[in-house]
Chains A and B, each alone.
Chain A
Amino acid sequence: MRFARPAFVVFVLVTLQTTLLADIDVFGARGDIVMLLPIAAGIAGGRERGAIVGFIAGFALDLVVHGTPTGFFALGYTLVGYFVGMVQAGVLRAAWWIPVLTALGGSALGVLTLAIVGKFIGLEVPFDRKLVTIALVVAVLNAMLVLPMMRVTRWALPVTSRGGRLVTS
Chain B
Amino acid sequence: MALSRRPGRSRFTLALLLLTSITVLTLDFRGSSAIHSLRNAVSSAFSPVRDTAGSVFSPVGDAWNGLFHYHDVKKENDQLRAQVEALQGQAAVNADAKKQYDALAQLDGITQFTQLPSVTAQVIAGPLTNFEHTIELDRGTAKGIKIGMPVVTGAGLIGRVTDVQSNRSVIKLMTDPDLVAGVRLVSSGETALVHGQGDGKPLVVDEGIDPKVKVATDEMVTTSGEDRAVFPGGIPIGRVSKTELSADQLTQVLTVTPLADLGRLTFVKVLLWEPPK
Cα–Cα, bound, A167→B25 (Å): 37
Cα–Cα, bound, A66→B43 (Å): 9
Q: Is the interface of B mostly helix, strand, loop or mixed?
A: helix
In the complex, per-residue mask of A62-105: 1 if CB is within 8 Å of any chain B CB, else 0: 11111111111111001100100100000000000000000000
Complex: chain A residue closest to B51, CB-CB: A19
Given contacts A46-B4, A66-B170, A68-B131, 10 further A-B contacts (CB under 8 A): A22-B129, A23-B61, A30-B127, A32-B129, A32-B130, A45-B3, A48-B13, A66-B136, A78-B21, A124-B133
CB-based closest 10 A-B pairs: A67-B132, A23-B61, A71-B24, A71-B25, A75-B21, A67-B134, A48-B10, A63-B42, A20-B57, A70-B28
Chain B residues positioned under 8 Å from A51 (CB to CB) = 10, 13-14, 17
Report whether A15 and B53 are in contact in the complex, using a CB–CB cutoff of 8 Å: yes
Chain B residues positioned under 8 Å from A138 (CB to CB) = 130
Chain B residues positioned under 8 Å from A121 (CB to CB) = 25, 29
Report whether A70 and B35 are in contact in the complex, using a CB–CB cutoff of 8 Å: yes
Cα–Cα, bound, A113→B133 (Å): 18
Report whether A20 and B132 are in contact in the complex, using a CB–CB cutoff of 8 Å: no
Chain B residues positioned under 8 Å from A150 (CB to CB) = none
Could you tell me the distance in whole angstroms from the C-beta of A118 to the nearest C-beta in chain B? Answer: 5
Count A/B pairs, Cβ under 8 Å.
Answer: 179
Cα–Cα, bound, A97→B84 (Å): 53
Could you tell me the distance in whole angstroms from the C-beta of A59 to the nearest C-beta in chain B? Answer: 8
Interface residues contributed by chain B, number (CB under 8 Å): 59
In the complex, per-residue mask of A27-45: 1 if CB is within 8 Å of any chain B CB, else 0: 0111010000000000001
Complex: chain A residue closest to B201, CB-CB: A126
Given A51-B13, A78-B18, A111-B130, residue A69 in contact with residue B25 (CB < 8 A): yes
Chain B residues positioned under 8 Å from A28 (CB to CB) = 200
Interface residues contributed by chain A, number (CB under 8 Å): 65
Report whether A75 and B3 are in contact in the complex, using a CB–CB cutoff of 8 Å: no
Which B residues form the contact surface with A (CB < 8 A)?
A: 1, 3-5, 9-10, 13-14, 17-18, 20-25, 27-29, 35, 38-39, 42-43, 46, 49-50, 53-54, 56-58, 60-62, 64-65, 68-69, 125-134, 136, 163, 170, 176-178, 196, 198-200
Report whether B24 and A22 are in contact in the complex, using a CB–CB cutoff of 8 Å: no
